[in-house]
């Protein structure tokens, strides 16, 4: 059984959330050479790319932004079959 502890930001360099699970993601957009804008949205990782949970499609925000971290709210347990 795999347990992912939550309620803390997880960098993408440490892995992705479980497929099909809605999480909060932190997006960065370059504004100028030295400045970056930061946005937070809910998204689902489907194993290939991030999608909007309401439309089930990639939105311009998710296509153009650089996702740096994700946040899942409660404990998730995956049982092996």
- Residue range 55-67, pLDDT digits in tens: 998 888 888 888 9
> What kind and span of H or E run contains 62?
helix 60-64
Taking the C-alpha atoms of residue 44 and residue 52, their distance in angstroms, rounded to an integer, is: 6
pLDDT exceeds 70 at position 48: yes
pLDDT in tens, 1-41: 455 555 789 999 988 998 998 999 999 988 888 888 999 99
What's the pTM value of the predicted model, to 2 decimals? 0.74
Domain boundaries, the chain: 2-74
Q: Pairing relation of β-strands 22-30 and 66-71?
A: antiparallel
pLDDT at 11: 92
pLDDT of residue 24: 93
Find residue 10's DSSP bridge partners: 70
């Amino acid at each position: 059984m795999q347990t992912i502890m939550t309620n803390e930001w997880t960098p993408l360099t440490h892995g992705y959330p479980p497929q099909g699970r809605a999480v909060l993601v932190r997006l960065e957009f370059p504004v100028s050479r030295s400045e970056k804008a930061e946005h937070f949205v809910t998204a689902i990782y489907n194993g290939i790319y991030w999608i909007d949970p309401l439309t089930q499609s990639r939105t311009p925000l998710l296509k153009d932004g650089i996702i740096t971290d994700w946040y899942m709210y409660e404990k998730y347990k995956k049982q092996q079959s």
